[in-house]
Structure 1
């Protein structure tokens, strides 16, 4: 018996994962991606316990991923009036025992390629070079029209097409994003000695600038610096060589210690992008079409939850689809409306909370003024700087990520 056909718009990170979940549950997903092939966009991702618990439900996937299980947190201050180490903790090495998984740091291009290959190996068709331009729904199906004139029809459509979602525009119209006042420059670099010993994630705080770096494989580290500056374009593409060299020479962090200056000077790829907010949606679906991941709830990167929240979306949506599967294999519009509404009732409040927390954390990290920076530094010392506070840090982490709902026993 042929499973229910599902069109997935977007072949980035969420799309292939969704296709694997749907395939395991007996659906027939097909992915349409607007790019012509897997691209080199982006830098790295921190796959956190709440996301890894879900990925572990796909047989063999986690074991095949190339990445680095983080064992150590380092925090420094580069504020001259309050410089020095804020925390050096091996708490990440204990996360697996506590939560079932630690943090897995991955290079985005490698991770993306592995996901697409896993989907194709599972029998999912991935069609590149197809950009959605319109959707037409009837009582039994959705027909998608692409910019190249091709069309495709399925029982329902899931928009996984990210921050610049064409699916979202087709459902709710074009929106004007609002600039947060923060821009990031990030890169991929050879791992410096200070991070090479233990598998390390490092945060460095300055006056008006924040820097984060994470080892992502045996030889490379991805990093990003955030600062307040005039509006920057929202793109994740690499700078040209001249712009990269100019950044290396002019950035305020080029003279920072603790490996920061070395990471900047040796970067093999640097990108720059502004951070923008989108209006919060009260619903993520219309009829037979639903949004997930960044298409539904785009977030700034400061909490490291963009991909992980997409995985939570996928886990719940596919469970609801399976639980409410019709005997005929074909979903009515009424049944899909109920499934998508139940999905939103659980996911919208949680994602809205985390989007706000990510924005708050970004503002906290990029403080301007010596006294404000000292206050922030003291808070970091209190939360993460002593072993006595490890339990408090774990409790805060557990509450933020809602890990009690995703216990290790459910991971298979």
Structure 2
């Protein structure tokens, strides 16, 4: 019997990993991406221990990805009325020691390119320039139509195509993304002299805004500022040269202490994007088509769990496929229904909880007004003294 042919939609940082797992388990995956080439969009990815635990199941992948292993995290207040170190946590190191899996920071474009290359080396076909247009299902498979006129038929299809998922729209209709009221603006900068000996991230909290900065080795630090402001489209693209210079000269963050101002002033690249949510889905599949990752449960990045939750989705999907279809042969519709329903039963409560926690973290970190900021700072001091509270902050 021939292996089941699987269409994977979206070649970001999720689709290639799913395709590798499927290939290793005997399926015949083909990966499709609407863009014409791998994207260099975005800045960094925080791979937490739950994410690296999944990636470690693919021999050699974590080594190929590389990245900076994190041990500690520091929390500072830049509020003039309450400036100083709020606390520090060894949570990343303790979690690594307890689980055997590290928390890593990776430059997103590098990670993307490396997992694409890894998938290709394992024989996964990747078709760029294929924008999903329509899905048509029957009892035996799914026919996928792309905007370039190509039609392909698969045993089942998995949508890994992110916040603006066309797979999701085909299944459940258009659901406009809702702006959350905050933007991310970040860059890549030389590491400030103050941080030369540090290899760990820092959170810096101000009035209505906060910054996270992660030294990446080789004298490079990634940073991102979250602030409340009018809508900015979520495009993950670099600001033009004039916009960069304007931000570097006139941004209020230029005056922040603890090296934060230096990061802004010396940035070699700046991107800006709004943070959006979509309505929660009660189901992630219809028939032979399943959504995973941000296509199913997009979340704001305040707990840095987006990619990691997508990898948890993939991990459970592969476990359930092994349980119900160990031969990787053509699955029946009832078999896929059992797999997808069991996945939803486990994953929807978990991801819904983390989406709510991420929203709450975003609200807490960007509070406005001195009194509210003082309460936030007190809460961070308390969090740093309690391992359970710091664990909840990471969502893992």
- TM bin, normalised by shorter chain, reads over 0.9
Matching residue of 1:131: 131
Matching residue of 1:409: none
Is the Cα contact below 8 Å between 2:181 and 2:231 reproduced in 1?
A: yes
- The answer to whether residue 180 in structure 2 is matched with residue 180 in structure 1 is yes
Structure 2 residue runs of 5 or longer lacking an equivalent are none
Counterpart CA distance in 2 for 1:396 and 1:128 is 38
- The answer to whether residue 271 in structure 2 is matched with residue 271 in structure 1 is yes
Counterpart CA distance in 2 for 1:239 and 1:344 is 39
Counterpart CA distance in 1 for 2:48 and 2:3 is 32
Structure 1 residues 27 and 255: CA distance shift in structure 2, 3 A: same
Is the Cα contact below 8 Å between 1:203 and 1:213 reproduced in 2?
A: yes
Is the Cα contact below 8 Å between 2:91 and 2:387 reproduced in 1?
A: no
Q: Deviations for 1:194-248, whole angstroms, at most 9, x for unmatched residues?
A: 3331311110000111111112343322111111111111211111111111111
Is the Cα contact below 8 Å between 1:66 and 1:217 reproduced in 2?
A: no
Matching residue of 2:93: 93
Matching residue of 2:338: 338
Report how far residue 2 of structure 1 moved. 3.8
Matching residue of 1:262: 262
- The answer to whether residue 49 in structure 2 is matched with residue 68 in structure 1 is no
Matching residue of 1:222: 222
Report how far residue 298 of structure 1 moved. 0.3
Is the Cα contact below 8 Å between 2:2 and 2:330 reproduced in 1?
A: no
SS of the residue aligned with 2:290? Answer: strand
TM-score normalised according to structure 2 size: 0.96
SS of the residue aligned with 1:75? Answer: strand
Aligned length: 396
Structure 1 residue runs of 5 or longer lacking an equivalent are 402-412
Q: Greater CA deviation, 48-57 or 60-69?
A: 60-69
Counterpart CA distance in 2 for 1:395 and 1:239 is 34
SS of the residue aligned with 2:226? Answer: strand
Matching residue of 2:369: 369
Q: Deviations for 1:31-55, whole angstroms, at most 9, x for unmatched residues?
A: 0001111111111011001111111
Instruction: Please show how residues 280-319 of structure 1 align to structure 2 within 5 Å.
Output: 280-319=280-319
SS of the residue aligned with 2:358? Answer: helix
Report how far residue 367 of structure 1 moved. 0.7
Q: Greater CA deviation, 105-114 or 214-223?
A: 214-223
Is the Cα contact below 8 Å between 1:177 and 1:277 reproduced in 2?
A: yes
Is the Cα contact below 8 Å between 2:27 and 2:328 reproduced in 1?
A: no
Report how far residue 270 of structure 1 moved. 0.8
Matching residue of 1:406: none
Structure 1 residues 128 and 327: CA distance shift in structure 2, 3 A: closer
Counterpart CA distance in 2 for 1:359 and 1:51 is 20
Report how far residue 72 of structure 1 moved. 2.4
Matching residue of 2:349: 349
Matching residue of 2:145: 145
Report how far residue 371 of structure 1 moved. 1.0
Matching residue of 1:408: none
Structure 1 residues 129 and 179: CA distance shift in structure 2, 3 A: same
SS of the residue aligned with 1:380? Answer: helix
TM-score normalised according to structure 1 size: 0.93
Q: What's the Cα RMSD here?
A: 1.6
Structure 1 residues 91 and 297: CA distance shift in structure 2, 3 A: closer
Is the Cα contact below 8 Å between 1:316 and 1:343 reproduced in 2?
A: yes
Is the Cα contact below 8 Å between 2:180 and 2:276 reproduced in 1?
A: yes
Matching residue of 1:360: 360
